[in-house]
Structure 1
Amino acid sequence: MEKTVVELFAGVGGFRCGFNDVEFDGGTVKEQNNWNFVWANQWEPSTKTQAAFDCYIERFGENSCVCQDIGEVDKTTIPDHTLLVGGFPCQDYSVARSLSNEKGIEGKKGVLWWEIAEVLEAKQPPFVLLENVDRLLRSPSTQRGRDFGIMLRSLLDNGYAVEWRVINAAEYGFPQKRRRVFIFAYHESTNYFKEMKKYSPEQIVYSNGIFAKEFPIKDVKLKKGNTIISQEEFEDIVYISDEFNFHFFNAGIMVNGIIHTYKVEPKECKEITTLGDILEKGEVDEKYFLLDEKLEKWTFLKGSKKIERTKPNGEKYYFSEGQLAFPDKLDVPARTMLTSESTTNRSSHVVKDKVSGNLRTLTPVEAERIQMFPDNWTNIESKAMTERRRYFMMGNALVVGVVQKLGHYLEKIVEDEN
């Protein structure tokens, strides 16, 4: 079985950077070519320019990515592949009966999960690796677990077993406290599926599955739960949408429509990468330093507060926030980086500069290092990629080191299919 990959919602190429151990010296991109990325798609519908796509093709080549709304792509034209990867938005995945066809099912318009489901149906890749925000497991708030349940049933209906884990990158030695759920699906036709059948769900989650192998957890039994999502319990996916409600913990597996979920804790990592470790060592441009007249605003934003507000109905309430470290501590990993990084807001990192000792925001290179991209990865010629967009791209990206570890283990899985 060839190590071929299709990358959806490719962004600036986080999966490819991780899977192929990409190095970049400011001029030349060097890939280890562990995996052959045969097709990629990146399209940002909310902007006129396509900065992420521009970055992808500048780094990986003119024909490395397709800039087209994935909803308009004929999924049968996508090349055959062994592994489908992608980080996709967390949205409302509710479904309903099609008005034009009593037995048909249609998903909420504009929801990108259904594009993934169409690829699975059309191409049946043996393996799938997806990344999302961890709140996916408990969305929506009015029907906990429904959205993830819909995803699991979609994968089940296409012949897959699924393992998932919420991974906080910092707990495994990486430079950012970023919690994301990773979803690994494998088709029932694979040798890997047959191999995993030898183990109990608990053994897969705690010791034998892909996440346990690469991101070890404590052998401590905390909370667990199970339920059925197959046709025995829910006739079709509409019933999932209408009735399914389940508390997913941060790890679990679904095989043959039976869900087993566990609350797990990571094993202690002896080596950590701190925010101080990734700061630039030389002099930093003065434009990143905080102006004296803005220090008062920064202090307010970072401080604790209790503000009276009024609801639309006139009712008064208090909005409260706790205090954040100001400046950020340099002896621990960075906080979760958002798309608003470097702007004057509560979530932006503010550090004490190592050379001058003055306070400043992060540089674009430091933002890239927090996500473990090569330095100046997003510093491209395209005018669409402004400095503000460089921060935005990193706020949207994944921690490259996490998928790097998963990619290396997936190589072994694919090699065993031959």
Structure 2
Amino acid sequence: MNAPMSSQLQIVLAELRRYHSQAEIAATLEVDKRTIRRWEAGECVPPSYVITALKQMLPPGLPFDEPKADFTFIDLFAGIGGIRQAFEMIGGRCVFTSEWDSYAQKTYRENHPSDGHELNGDITEVSTSDIPDHDVLLAGFPCQPFSIAGVSKKNALGRAHGFQDETQGTLFFDVARIIAAKRPRAFLLENVKNLISHDKGRTFDVIRRTLRDELGYHIHYRVIDGAHFTPQHRERIIIVGFREPVAFDFDAIPLPEKGRRPLKDILHKCDGSEPILPWDGDRFFDHSNRKVQDKYTLTPKLWAYLQQYAEKHRAKGNGFGFGLVTPESKETRTLSARYYKDGSEILLYQINTNPRRLTPRECARLMGFDDTFRIPVSDTRAYKQFGNSVVVSVIAHTARLMHQFLVNETLEPELPLTEQQIA
């Protein structure tokens, strides 16, 4: 982890280690000692409430200078906070959040309870005057069809048809109007890979022209597969924009090789080493019997149906069907928001019994969330939320690339990068 979110986390941990061992800190927070080691090594970052808990462990009256945030950002279409978490890792401070889904709001609040700002709902109902100034705009906006019908007619009539016209009625319009009003130093937008080819490329063309030609930003984009970081095939497009020209390059930090982490790395451990998380208890894993709860194993009826469905499509020459994986698998199919229905895209093989779904905790790990991430909603809602989320490590990779251009006045890249930054 480079210096920034270390800023808060690393400074607090370093001070705390003068008084407590890793084991003592882990025991107080009720997490595994390995989790503390990962925080110290910069391999992952805990939710913001953990930093508050760490500060409370410091001796009373100890002078402690709160590190100033390197930059501020807003979190639009925030979901459960995956993009936010990545930018907090590099020293950013969130000053505005918008998420319309009440269940996602519940999960977001549980993991970011002390924001210092209200969690806003539907962004289409928020005036730009109510949004604070910020350095970076973050948005995992949903992809909606863009209607460009009528543009030729408006041209003929001599009427303007900038982004207000071409994007009106889509949620991207709200991203564009906020960028236009607030002129942040940079932005990061995330979407599905198919955004590029949607409507024969017209949708992405409107987005690109809006950001570049109408709003005047210098944009860069790349499709990145989550399999570089977790054992899941999950391709998403990342669009990065800067108000000023900078030497940003997606290739500046090489992506880790795919297949480094087998699926067993994120599965519950049945050898007695599975950590007992107080916020999970035995909800997902039966610690007494060292096994995943039986409810995640498919019923005979559902397993028979999925096999029949797959066979029917195989006979037609189609590739539809369930995705069966083992603990040694290096890559699963993409976790989707419909996973709660039958779990068919990722089914884990089990000896002498039917396959099972991943538990919500395993889904969280598959998406790059640390075990300190809390899941306060039902399994059905949790599956939807993780299926709609980002792979945190993909965003963190991009955030590290952006960081130097958010905190330095120079436009020249600080290369070469250290091995820690590449890891």
Q: CA deviation at 1:210?
A: 3.3
Which whole-Å CA distance do the structure 2 matches of 1:281 and 1:9 have between them?
Answer: 34
Q: Is the 8 A contact 1:299 1:326 kept in 2?
A: no
- Counterpart check, 1:366 vs 2:362: yes
Q: Deviations over 1:227-249 (max 9, x none)?
A: xxxxxxxxxxxxxxxxxxxxxxx
Which whole-Å CA distance do the structure 2 matches of 1:303 and 1:327 have between them?
Answer: 18
Aligned pair in 2 of structure 1 residues 270, 51: CA closer, same or farther (>3 Å)? closer
- Aligned residue in 2 for 1:391: 383
Where in structure 2 are the equivalents of 1:308-323 lying within 5 Å?
A: 320-322=318-320
Equivalent residue for 2:348, pick from 326, 348, 351: 351
Q: Is the 8 A contact 1:42 1:65 kept in 2?
A: no
- Aligned residue in 1 for 2:146: 93
Aligned pair in 2 of structure 1 residues 20, 342: CA closer, same or farther (>3 Å)? same
Where in structure 2 are the equivalents of 1:7-406 lying within 5 Å?
A: 7-21=75-89, 34-44=91-101, 50-61=102-113, 63-95=116-148, 96=150, 102-103=159-160, 105-107=164-166, 109-140=168-199, 144-156=200-212, 157-170=214-227, 172-188=228-244, 193=245, 195-196=246-247, 209-216=248-255, 269=257, 272-282=260-270, 283-303=291-311, 305=313, 320-322=318-320, 324-327=322-325, 330-344=328-342, 346-347=344-345, 349-353=346-350, 359-375=355-371, 377-380=373-376, 385-406=377-398
Tell me the amino acid that sits aligned with residue 78 of structure 1.
Answer: I
Q: Is the 8 A contact 2:349 2:355 kept in 1?
A: yes
Aligned pair in 2 of structure 1 residues 302, 365: CA closer, same or farther (>3 Å)? farther
SS at match of 2:252: helix
Q: Is the 8 A contact 2:299 2:354 kept in 1?
A: no
Count of residues in Structure 1 that have an aligned counterpart in Structure 2: 314
Which whole-Å CA distance do the structure 1 matches of 2:328 and 2:302 have between them?
Answer: 22
Q: Is the 8 A contact 1:327 1:359 kept in 2?
A: no
Q: Is the 8 A contact 2:231 2:331 kept in 1?
A: yes
SS at match of 2:236: strand
Q: Deviations over 1:79-137 (max 9, x none)?
A: 11111111111111224569999435524554100000001110011111111001111
Which whole-Å CA distance do the structure 2 matches of 1:20 and 1:163 have between them?
Answer: 22
Which whole-Å CA distance do the structure 1 matches of 2:184 and 2:335 have between them?
Answer: 32
Greater mean deviation of Cα atoms: 95-104 or 280-289: 95-104
Q: Is the 8 A contact 2:191 2:236 kept in 1?
A: yes
Unaligned runs of 5+ in 2: 1-68, 271-290, 411-423
Which whole-Å CA distance do the structure 2 matches of 1:301 and 1:376 have between them?
Answer: 38
Aligned pair in 2 of structure 1 residues 122, 212: CA closer, same or farther (>3 Å)? same
Which whole-Å CA distance do the structure 2 matches of 1:65 and 1:304 have between them?
Answer: 51
Percent identity of equivalent pairs = 28
Q: CA deviation at 1:65?
A: 4.7
Which whole-Å CA distance do the structure 2 matches of 1:138 and 1:271 have between them?
Answer: 27
TM-score by length of 2: 0.67
Q: Which is helix-richer, 1 or 2?
A: 2
Q: Which is strand-richer, 1 or 2?
A: 1
Which whole-Å CA distance do the structure 2 matches of 1:270 and 1:345 have between them?
Answer: 24
Which whole-Å CA distance do the structure 2 matches of 1:126 and 1:65 have between them?
Answer: 23
SS at match of 2:133: coil
Q: Is the 8 A contact 1:129 1:185 kept in 2?
A: yes
Aligned CA-pair RMSD: 2.8
- Aligned residue in 2 for 1:47: none
